[in-house]
Amino acid sequence: MKRRDALVSMGCLALISPLLFSEKKRSQFMKKEVKTSKAPKAIGPYSQAIIANGMVFASGQIPIDPSTGELLSGSIEDQTRLVLTNLKAVLEAAGSSMDKVVKCTVFLDDMNNFSQMNGIYDEFFNPPYPARAAVEAARLPKDVKVEIEAIAIV
């Protein structure tokens, strides 16, 4: 009987399983937190982003100026621009970019702001554009007009 089969039959696989996978295989199953001072700090029990299996899962960004921590209460265009600037900073800290985004979710406080948001959104992305959903939310954190989250390739 092979050593591995003997260990499995003795119930020891859980103890040695890390030894059975190469470092590359183990790293595929790990997750890594992304932190950058170029985007707002997480204001709760979440991360700015997580890298897992070659993908970046960026938390929703809202229009907070990372240098001051102050909320931008301007127009939907101004808020969208800051949100996407913050998202770009998080993605770059993760070793990714806006061109590697595969999916975005846009949360709006009022779907009547969609076209103005979309005009700014278009400034940050190039074809082929990411898949996207846009939804109106009853209320967003800190009563902002827009929040955007993204999934990207590292």
The average pLDDT across 119-126 equals: 98
The whole-number pLDDT of residue 27 equals: 52
- What angle, 0 to 180 degrees and rounded to 10, lies between the N-to-C axes of helices 76-93 and 114-124? 30
Grade residue 15 by pLDDT with cuts at 50, 70 and 90.
Answer: very low
DSSP assignment of 54-85 equals: TEEEEEEE-SB-TTT-PBP-S-HHHHHHHHHH
Q: What is the pLDDT of residues 80-120, one digit of tens each?
A: 999 999 999 999 999 999 999 999 999 999 999 999 999 99
**The dihedral formed by the CA atoms of 28, 29, 30 and 36, expressed in degrees to the nearest 10:** 60
- Angstrom distance (rounded) from CA 83 to CA 47: 16
In order of their start, the domains of the chain are 30-153 (3.30.1330.40)
Q: What are phi and psi of 46, to 5 degrees?
A: -150, 170
For residue 30, what pLDDT band results from cuts at 50, 70 and 90?
A: confident
Say what the pLDDT of residue 36 is: 97
pLDDT band at 43 (very low <50, low <70, confident <90, very high): confident
